[in-house]
Chains A and B, each alone.
Chain A
Amino acid sequence: MQRLTVPLLLLATLAGLVLAAKLGWIDLYVQTTLMFLCINIIMATSLNLINGYMGEFSCGHAGFMAVGAYVSSLLSVALFTSSATFGEPLLPPSLALLGLPLCLLAGGVAAALAGLLVAFPSFRTRGDYLAIITLAANYIIISLVENLDVIGGARGFMGMKKVLNNMEEVAGLPWMVIWTFVGTVFCVWILQRYIRSSMGKGVMAVCQDEIAAEIMSVNTNQVKLTAFLLSSGLAGVAGGLFAHVVGYVNPQAFNILKSTEAMVMVYLGGMGSLTGSILSAGLMTVLLEVLRPLQIIKWVAIPLLLIILMQFRPEGIMGNRELGDLFPKLKKYYRFK
């Protein structure tokens, strides 16, 4: 029974959300905020694998998000709706119900491949130099998209709302709420399984002493490749979800500012703590919305808060502990394996 606590809780949360959205207890604004929260969780946790667990400094995470966003949007629009770019749908629009998650996954795979752009240089460089490379990767991806006029270039790309409308015609459920939630659970689940395994512990060994790791039989190149592919792939999933939630993507939405946002969440929550990243993603998203009445002052208040936090708790909210380390009793139920 205890093994099932977490899955049951998650299922109940999902059912509650769907019900609330369906019956109109929470309006579209709240729904969208919750979906952004989930997307931020994916961004923060996946970036944490690189910046926290592996100790590298990746500041181009949004670039991979862009790849996922574009690939999944292009796929879903081409397959399930008629559009000016692709013409008639290649598959019956009602199939979108099943097709959308596959498109999101495809976006993730494409983003993982884009992650190679950073993974290969990481074999030979570390630290600041690799940080510059990740930054460059972000710019390369964005300029590439901006200069591809076929997919809208700098004007962006849209049509995903039609796919969603098709889905709602087939079955009237808040589909994006469901898929965003499922996607988030999927990402955190994968990450935490990886990190808890002896294989994933290799990531931390590489972080702490790469030479010792290599000499103690850890294939450091393989570890780096896996970590970068996993991290960028999950960012791609987040991008796909983002594109479908908003219904419109444009390359500048994935610039360095977006990457910084993810980084802030990682450092706020604590490097090397998945629960920390989840908490801080939630905190940031809610804070940004709650402080909206402050208007422009919001952008003074939040960074100020960050500065204060970093002064008094430089290791972030959770340090490198997980929730289970703080409340050992929870561990019994923490069978999120």
Chain B
Amino acid sequence: MALLDIKDLSIRFGGLIAVSDFSTSFEGGELNGLIGPNGAGKTTVFNMVSGFYQPTGGAIVFDGTRVGKLKPHKVTALGISRTFQNIRLWHELTVLDNIRVSQYSRLGYNLWDCFLRTKNYLGREADIDRAAFAILEALDLDRFAAEYPKNLPYGLQRKVEIARALSTRPKLLLLDEPAAGLNSSDVDGLIKLIRFIHKEFKLTIWMIEHQMTVVMSLCEWIKVIDFGRTIAEGAPEAIQQNPEVIKAYLGDGTI
């Protein structure tokens, strides 16, 4: 059974059809890309998969469960996590607390446990701490555990956001333009990081990206959309040569 199966996904906002008849499928373990010019509907697809938008047509089945009408936190609990195009960390919480709160679906205690500091509560909080530190150490972020994200440089904030996404224990990780706003040396680090988490956490990764170096060196299979329609898909080398894709990005030469 496929990990993620998207069939004929469509969404319209009023008269605007943002995404139409989008289909794709993940067996598990892939590292695929979704590219397209600005406003093509890439983030909208991610927003539907993560439960933030409800699609007006089609179906998203993740791990045997229909995602379409679930609330986002339920979708995340199922195993889909994501990062955001513009970093959306909780800047007034420490890095460690960011990672802790993201384990909300696995808290495993209720309000009474919390008031009475029961054994269950203390045990679970210790587990949460351990899990948080494990992720921070794996990503070499444990030095910054007590820092506030707003005080960290941009590249590290990206990394923290990825760490936060990992702390929800996803099976599928959606990266929305992870290289946006990074300089070239940061981009090299990011490519290594994504490769590392793909292998180490045994994830399926699906990423939106504009920087071709990142897409070409990481992705196994790429889908290209424009104005909500899929215009091409294939291996990176094939996509680079595809006339449809070149036209979408650069225009067709007629003025």
Once A197-B114, A337-B117 are accepted as A-B contacts, the answer to whether A212 and B104 lie under 8 Å apart by CB is no
A215 near B115: Cβ-Cβ < 8 Å: no
Once A202-B101, A218-B73 are accepted as A-B contacts, the answer to whether A209 and B88 lie under 8 Å apart by CB is yes
A217 near B105: Cβ-Cβ < 8 Å: yes
Q: Is B250 an interface residue (CB 8 A)?
A: no
A216 near B164: Cβ-Cβ < 8 Å: yes
Q: Is A273 an interface residue (CB 8 A)?
A: no
The residue among B77, B84, B92, B109 with the most chain A CB atoms within 10 A of its own CB is B92
Q: Is A320 an interface residue (CB 8 A)?
A: yes
B76 near A217: Cβ-Cβ < 8 Å: yes
The residue among B72, B82, B88 with the most chain A CB atoms within 10 A of its own CB is B72
B76 near A226: Cβ-Cβ < 8 Å: no
Tell me the minimal C-beta distance from B128 to chain A in angstroms: 5
Interchain Cβ contacts within 8 Å, total number: 95
Tell me the minimal C-beta distance from A217 to chain B in angstroms: 4
The contact string, 1 if C-beta is below 8 Å from chain B, for chain A 180-223, is: 00000000001001100111111011011101111111111000
Q: Is B20 an interface residue (CB 8 A)?
A: no
Interchain CA distance A205-B50 in the complex, whole Å: 18
> Smallest CB-CB separation from A208: which chain B residue?
B90
A209 near B90: Cβ-Cβ < 8 Å: yes
The interface residues of chain A lying within 8 Å CB-to-CB of B121 are 197
B76 near A205: Cβ-Cβ < 8 Å: no
**Selected A-B contacts with CB under 8 Å, 14 pairs:** A198-B97, A198-B100, A198-B103, A205-B90, A205-B93, A207-B92, A212-B88, A215-B50, A216-B73, A216-B168, A217-B77, A217-B102, A218-B102, A219-B71
B-side interface residues toward A, CB under 8 Å?
50-52, 71-73, 76-77, 81-82, 84, 88-93, 97, 100-105, 107, 109, 111, 114-115, 117, 121, 125, 128, 164-165, 168
* Extra pairs beyond A199-B114, A218-B73 (5, CB < 8 Å): A194-B115, A198-B128, A207-B92, A217-B81, A219-B105
A-side interface residues toward B, CB under 8 Å?
190, 193-194, 197-202, 204-205, 207-209, 211-220, 226, 320, 337
The 3 closest A-B pairs by CB, nearest first: A217-B76, A212-B88, A217-B105
